[in-house]
Amino acid sequence: MSGGKTIKRGATGARRQARVQGTKRRVKQARSTTGKLIDWLMRYLPFTEEQLQKGFLTGILGLGAAMMWMIASLAGVPAMAEYRLAEAAGQAGFEVDRVEVRGVERLNELKVYERVLGERDRAMPLVDIHALREDLLELSWVKDARVSRQLPNTLVIDIVERTPHAVLRKPNRLVLIDDTGHELEPISAANAKGMLQVYGPGAQRKVADLSKLLETAPALKPQVNAAEWVGNRRWNLTFKTGQVLALPQGDEEAAGALVSFARLDGVNRLLGGKVTAFDMRAPDRIYMRIPGRSQESLSVSAQ
């Protein structure tokens, strides 16, 4: 067309090229600014740019590994791998083939083997030694126990036994107990002969207190044959002579009375005499009962 204007495509291309050049300049300027900032930081940080890059890379890899481990844990992979490793150890000869029991004197050793029998032929890494120890502690004679692995194929059981201290007299049987009142096993009257016997409601819980009481009078202690816990508040002691001593209520009061009785016995030979019963429940007094004079009581100062 004549007289019309012609628009050349080159003008549009020139403007596009100008925009591209402007973008490049801005990117270059931003890189320059960023580079200056990094250079400024590097002057004050205690490591080099290379160390910074390595640390960044290590952090990325560590984060990735942690995420992979979390996913594997949720899927049960570590537990499965551990179990497979334990099985492999068992196949290589690291499995329970022998059980060695130490420290057993009074306890029936077969009871220990019964608890450990389930571990035979088990791979060593799969033996739960803590659970096995708790199982052994349920045995009446076991005060403490230690379970250890002795590679390649032995479980070692170290037992600490409870010590017999007295006999608990129950309505229908006699039971051997330790110094805390813990029951060990039934005992016959013949085997209980000569041992301290305790009885009365609640006496089992007071065995430790009784031991402390008797320690206050060492000379009398081996002569005590039985102790009755009366009314859940005090003791009656029976000596090997068959004589009975009634002690007052209260730990300090009972201990004081027993010491006084020991002193009187040392001077007057009370044990083995005609008196069948001594009553020291009254403060500073001792009442004595003599056969044939059941309606009478003699009293002397306990001081």
| Alpha-carbon dihedral 18, 20, 23, 24, rounded to 10 degrees | -110
Mean pLDDT of 92-116: 83
What domain range includes position 130?
94-161
189 with 266, same domain: the answer is yes
d(CA 251, CA 212): 9
92: tokens are 């290589």
List 155's β-bridge partners, or say none: 99, 149
pTM of the full structure: 0.65
Mean of per-residue pLDDT scores for the chain: 79
On whether the CB atoms of residues 233 and 203 are closer than 8 A, the answer is no
d(CA 193, CA 177): 14
On whether the CB atoms of residues 217 and 227 are closer than 8 A, the answer is no
Q: Is residue 281 part of a domain?
A: yes
Q: Is residue 117 part of a domain?
A: yes
d(CA 157, CA 104): 10
Map tokens 């049960």 to a residue: 76
Give me the number of domains the chain comprises: 2
- Where residue 282 sits, what CATH number does that domain have? 3.40.50.11690
Q: Is residue 9 part of a domain?
A: no
Mean pLDDT of 157-166: 96
214 with 125, same domain: the answer is no
- Please choose, from the candidates 192, 160, 152, the residue with its C-alpha nearest in 3D space to the C-alpha of residue 173: 192
202 with 270, same domain: the answer is yes
- Please choose, from the candidates 223, 211, 234, the residue with its C-alpha nearest in 3D space to the C-alpha of residue 265: 223
At 165-201, the pLDDT tens digits run 999 999 999 999 999 999 999 999 999 999 999 999 9
Q: Is residue 12 part of a domain?
A: no
